[in-house]
Amino acid sequence: AQSVTQPDIHITVSEGASLELRCNYSYGATPYLFWYVQSPGQGLQLLLKYFSGDTLVQGIKGFEAEFKRSQSSFNLRKPSVHWSDAAEYFCAESGGSYIPTFGRGTSLIVHP
């Protein structure tokens, strides 16, 4: 079965600092990969996705992610975090199935 691992349950950063959230997937072939963000009391919203081409993907709100096949990773990055980025972040992949598999999420806490 496919699986997505987000090893960090919580991440705390200071406002203005850089951010990297980790994601590893298990699908053997090239998967479709997604990052979603969930603000408190809201549903999930797509930040970015990868399915082919350039391995560095740009998303909304200044986020980017890099697909690394050799590491089975799709880490999310942002050069300078804003207080409004505090939220839950979910990595997801759909490969052999059209139904995406979501990770457990990483909670981002931003200190002023």
Determine the Cα–Cα distance for residues 26 and 38; give it in Å rounded to an integer: 23
Question: Binding residue for other proteins (CB under 8 A) from 28, 51, 80, 82?
Answer: 51
Paired sense of beta strands 87-94 and 106-111, if any: antiparallel
- Interface with other proteins includes 3 (CB under 8 A)? no
Report, in Å, the least distance between residue 66 CB and other proteins: 18
CA 56 to chain centre: 13
Determine the Cα–Cα distance for residues 52 and 72; give it in Å rounded to an integer: 15
- Angle among Cα 28, 30, 31 to the nearest 5 degrees reads 90
Nearer to other proteins, 44 or 81 (CB): 44
Judged by CB under 8 A, the chain residues 21 through 50 that form the site for other proteins are 32, 34, 36, 41-46, 49
Judged by CB under 8 A, the chain residues 72 through 111 that form the site for other proteins are 90, 94-95, 97-100, 102-105
Go through the chain and tell me how many residues it has.
Answer: 112
Binding site for other proteins (CB under 8 A): 32, 34, 36, 41-46, 49, 51, 90, 94-95, 97-100, 102-105
